[in-house]
Amino acid sequence: MISKNTIDTVFETARVEEVIGDFVNLKKSGTNYKGLSPFSNERSPSFMVSPVKQIWKDFSSGKGGNSVAFLMEHEHFSYPEAIRYLARKYNIEIEETEQSEQMKEQANEKESMYLVSEFAQKYFQDTMLNSDEGQAIGYSYFKERGFTGDTIKKFGLGYSPEIWDAFTKEALGKAYNLDYLDKTGLTIVRDDGRHVDRFRGRVMFPIQSMSGRVLGFGGRILTNDKKAAKYLNSPESDIYHKSKVLYGINLAKQSIAKKDNCYLVEGYTDVIQMHQAGIENVVSSSGTALTPDQIRLINRLTKNITVLFDGDAAGLRASIRGIDLILEEGMNVKVCTFPDGDDPDSFARKTPHDELVEYLDANSKDFIQFKASLLMDEAKNDPVKKAGLIRDMVSSIAKIPDRIQREVYIQECARIMDISEKVLASELAQLVSKEVADVSKKMQQEQQQNAMTVVEHDEPIFDDEGNVIDMQPQRLNILDGLERRILEILLLYGSTEQDFEDVYIKYDEFGKEYEDTEQKTYKVYERIYLNLQEDEIEFTNPVFKDLYKAAIDHYLANESFAVDVFLNALNPDLQQVATDIFMQDERYQLHEWEEKQQIPVKSKLMAVAAYTNEHIVDMRWLLLGRLIQDLKMKVSPDADNMEILISVNDYNTLVNYLSRKLSRIRSSYF
């Protein structure tokens, strides 16, 4: 168990903009940073990071919190995992307190699978470096591919021995659970209870998440056994989903964001060789067809992808069909091909760094132009084939969301294909219209299905026997909204000093009522606390009630209000609500209203005293109204109701006073 001292040090040291910057491409926006949401598919930034408050907010998904909350959401870390990750990142020594047996048994299942996978990676590498078989077969293979010792260690490469259960025996001997060995796919448990290693006699490529956790493995066989697959991958599991993973993304993410471009290759060795040649912004789909999830993973870091192909023309035509998916995501795609007989691995191996960079820059062509030229070379003088390829070309252009970009490509393709721009534009319009019609039809079908679904928004009214006799519409929870707004004022402006106006009802010597006004200076949190205490008002929403108490306790115990310290002390539910409040005003910076549209964003600080008074009076007025209704329900024709009626009259007098006060507050300040 991690000590409190270590946790406190992590929170004090970690910078939220640095932590999130490892996963999301952030750009400066005033005092904050903004970027594309890592939790949803979007093209306009709705993700905001506040270095001052040390929190983040994703306005598209509603998620938010501190750096630990981000790692728990994005990387699916447990709380201890997130703390350990940050401790490693900032070179903080982790102090451990002894775990009980019960705590060990409650360890997260996913964490156990991660630990098994990390043990396997170390085992495979140790076997390769320190066993005769590993050195003779595995290490020799990697050296023949031109990989240095540093590169082998950087990518965690290894070797699995030929013995049927060598790894499983070692893992069980180290007290790793067979159940997790089975769930990660490292061990195959047969029906008769015997178990064997999935990977045997193969060089091993660990597949890691963006944060560097081992998710699974790819293993390449080195013999000519035709019955065995050349490459074998870990099966799908709770921690490994191959359609959502890119090989090398953990080592490439910072370079991709910095270079604002991602090179996409096909195999493991392509990635490794490019890294060794000094090109680090490169990832691989590991031989599988590119998926939307993999594209979105890149989209978080850059809008630009350059796909690297070998010189095999047949393979090239087959591969480019999948690139339409990248266009659909609104990304910019370029293609770079290598000379016949070369692939990224072989070309990078024999080409010095400067020449490699120069080659990639000079030979990276826009994908649409590249595809048009390729298809026209293939069609040559065959009119029927040419017509089909033109439709194929226009189909790709139709995938591009940006209308202006589509028009530019239509002009360029008309020139390359030697065909009327008007014809291409007409074909494009038909395709786009069909897609719009398909989407519209789908929406109509969904609406019809929803129309057939009865959504109950009313509360049933029952008779004495429990039968429903009527339906009563549910009332909007106005009080919930008021409580949230008072919390907003408390958290956003609580430590500021404001002049508040107090109005007292007094009587002159003739007994005539008059109002006496007095101004006093309070801190906003003091004003809220004193008013609610005086009226014995408590929050009705349990989450708001707990957050209000935590905020007041923090104000009373500290001379200043530190947002990060306050948030770090809250449980996840309260932290989420507080983050929503702290980051709500940052939403306007996403669109840069004041700079671009010249729309001034109103600051509540200009009238925070009146805003505070208004909401406290609103709450009192609402609660009094409910109290009067409750009293009226107690009136009975068979009882003496005089005391109840006097109370109702007194409360009505107070309600009228509060109504006048509300009217005065609003007319003076708003």
Strand duo 304-309 + 262-265: pairing: parallel
Residues whose CB is less than 8 angstroms from the CB of residue 653 and which lie 6 or more positions away in sequence, other chains included: none
Q: What's the whole-model pTM score?
A: 0.65
Amino acid found at 652: N
Looking at residue 571, its amino acid is N
Q: Are 292 and 248 in contact (CB under 8 A)?
A: no
Number of neighbours of residue 274 by Cβ within 10 angstroms: 27
Report pLDDT digits (tens) over 555-565: 888 878 888 88
The one-letter amino acid at 373: S
d(CA 308, CA 370): 13
- Which residue in 214, 217, 224, 212 sits closest to 197, CA to CA? 217
Q: What pLDDT is recorded for position 396?
A: 83
Predicted local confidence at residue 664, as pLDDT: 46
CA nearest 253: which of 277, 281, 292? 281
pLDDT of residue 473: 44
Beta-carbon contacts of residue 273 (< 8 Å; ≥ 6 apart): 145, 146, 147, 344, 345, 346, 348, 349
Rounded CA-CA distance 522/608 in Å is 12
Q: What are the φ/ψ torsions at residue 65 (nearest 5 degrees)?
A: 150, -155
Q: Which long-range contacts does 451-457 make (Cβ < 8 Å, 24+ apart)?
A: none
CA 589/CA 53 separation, integer angstroms: 15
3-state secondary structure of 211: coil
What whole-number distance in Å separates Cα of residue 162 and Cα of residue 199?
Answer: 8
Asked if residue 244 lies in contact with residue 294, where contact means CB atoms within 8 angstroms, the answer is yes
| Torsion of Cα atoms, 602 then 606 then 610 then 613, to 10° | 90
Q: What is the reported pLDDT for 292? A: 87
Q: CB–CB of 294/252 below 8 Å?
A: no
Count the alpha carbons within 13 Å of 90 in the hemisphere toward its beta carbon. 20
pLDDT digits (tens, 9 = 90+) for 359-370: 999 999 888 878
CB-facing half-sphere around the CA of 77: CA atoms within 13 A: 22
Q: Which residue numbers in the chain have pLDDT < 50? A: 443, 447, 450-476, 593-602, 662, 664-670
Residue 598: the pLDDT is 44
Is 255:280 a contact under the CB 8 Å cutoff? yes
**Rounded alpha-carbon distances, angstroms, from residue 313 to 36, 219, 286, 375:** 36, 28, 20, 11
Q: Coil, strand or helix: which one is 231?
A: strand
- For 486, the token pair is 């008072």
State the pLDDT at residue 383: 79
Q: Which domains does the chain have, with CATH numbers?
A: 4-89 (3.90.580.10), 110-240 (3.90.980.10), 258-419 (3.40.1360.10), 478-669 (no CATH)
Residues ≥6 apart with Cβ < 8 Å to 247: 205, 207, 218, 268, 271, 283, 284, 285, 286
Q: In b/e form, how buried is each residue of 388-426, taking b as 16+ CB within 10 angstroms?
A: ebbeebbebbbbbeeeeebeebbebbbeebebeeeebbe
